[in-house]
Amino acid sequence: MAETTHPGQPGTADKDLQQFLLDLGSALTASGEAVNLIEDHLHHLAEVCGAPQARVSVLPTYLAISMEPGRPVALESTSRLAGHLRLDQTAAVFEILKAAEGGQISPAEGSRRIHEVGQMTPRFRPTVSVLGHVVLTTGICLVLEPTWGDLVLAALFGALVGGLKLLARRWSSIQMILPVAAAFTVAAVTFLVVGQGWAQADLRAMVPPLVTFLPGAMLTMAVVEISAAEIVSGASRLVAGALQLMLLTFGIIGAAHVVGLPPPDRLAASASHELGWWTPWLGVLIIALGDYLHHSAPRGALRWLCLVLYTAWIAQFLGDQVFGGYLSGFIGAIAMTPVAYLVERRPSGPPALVSFMPAFWLLVPGALSVIGVTKYLGRGDPAGAQEFVSAVGSMIAVALGVLCGYPLYRALARGLATLARRRSA
């Protein structure tokens, strides 16, 4: 017998669509997408599915969706997909979004597939994930132009932190204290080894294994959201990112008080190009491989990761030569953003969020801030305070680069579409 629908009440189709929008919005939030873009995705999908008057509101902890003005509002907690999605899960969510916009799946099927994404197992075994963290750490260290001692010590730290992250997956209760524990352990060993002169190493060995904890992407997305007038979500990300940075800093400062800081000339020694001028260029490739393994990137994504990362690195390198180090992040971000979105248009290309999120670690917007805070609080070095302030400015520069890069992509996309129409005419 057919279902009876009373006036003003949604039918089964509307309920399925509403639930799908809630599930999809929750998954996009867990992937780290900016809330203004999530709302755009959901509005467009609702319009495609025959609900052009749908009202969508995305907040840090829940979504609210009404199919029409005056209809009841449905809420969905975004904590159901706890934590951040891996790169393969993020790619799967955007595949579902694309299929739904193309009318290839029904809302009920879309909700089922979103639930399956939440249960996806990583593409690689835990040991490969830890190995990926070692590779990622080694690549970041190469970009920082290390000594041989830095490189070996960073690789060992990468294995240690990768193992701690693996334990945190099994015991969620330690996830909050993991950044403090990792920062304290890595910093204490670094200060001890450098202070005793057991290895020719400095801060470039300590920073790379902690980069995966740095909230550079989170703080950048916060600036993007605040710029889009999403004040609640942007402020929430800003507070969460600042807390993450303070936890890391607390661990480093705690290690400095327990072990003691080495002499300044050892802690931040200069040994540029000791391994060769080619090390940063090789480091970018190794970072891409480490991201691919550690974050379980989707199949075929490695070449696209390399393309976006090298675009960001070359633009940052040129920006450093012309404008200086801190503004170079703006140049790198403004160059990588349209490339990431153009890659998304390719049939085999991963979503832009998958390809350019790892680039934030290449630009390292948070690494300088950790070094600056360590110098300032550990020794009272005024240069440390200046470096910390400059790092905050570089983080804002990266966010502005993303903001400027997206309109640049839209202009390129319109130009390519116009060119395609002229060729087909």
Return the higher-pLDDT residue of 202 and 371.
202
Q: For the beta carbon of residue 258, count every other beta carbon within 10 angstroms.
A: 12
- Cα distance between residue 355 and residue 342, in whole Å: 11
Given a contact cutoff of 8 angstroms between Cβ atoms, the answer to whether 403 and 228 are in contact is no
Average pLDDT over every residue of 60-87: 78
Greatest alpha-carbon span in the chain: 82
Expressed in angstroms, the distance from the first to the final Cα of the chain is 52
- Whether the per-residue pLDDT at 156 is higher than 90: the answer is yes
Taking Cα atoms as reference points, which of 340, 358, 354, 337 lies closest to residue 401?
Answer: 337
State the Cα–Cα distance between residues 87 and 292, nearest whole angstrom.
Answer: 8
Model confidence pLDDT, tens digit, residues 300-318: 889 999 999 999 889 888 8
Mean pLDDT of 275-300: 88
212 phi and psi angles, rounded to 5 deg: -70, -10
272 has a pLDDT exceeding 60: no
CB 48 within 8 A of CB 101: yes
Among candidate residues 124, 130, 180, the one with its CA nearest the CA of residue 155: 130
3-state SS record for 293-350: HHCCCCCCCHHHHHHHHHHHHHHHHHHHHHHCHHHHHHHHHHHHHHHHHHHHCCCCCC
pLDDT at residue 377, as a whole number:
44
Q: Which two tokens stand for residue 53?
A: 């008057």
- Can you tell me the mean pLDDT for 316-332? 79
422, 40, 387: which is closest to 230 by C-alpha? 40
The residue behind tokens 């009272």 is 380
Hey, which of 12-26, 127-141, 174-188, 273-287 has the most confident mean pLDDT?
Answer: 127-141
Beta partners for residue 216, in sequence order: none
Place of tokens 């932190």: 161
d(CA 350, CA 287): 17
Helix (H) or strand (E) holding 64: strand 62-66
More confident residue, 331 or 263: 331
- Name residue 244's amino acid: Q
Share of the chain above pLDDT 90, in %: 15
User: Residue type at 19?
Assistant: Q
Q: Which residue has the tokens 């015991």?
A: 171
What is the separation of C-alpha 271 from the centre of its chain, rounded to a whole number of angstroms? 30
Predicted TM-score (pTM) of the model is 0.83
pLDDT at 234 over 80: yes
DSSP state letter for 105: S
Mean local confidence (pLDDT), 193-206? 75
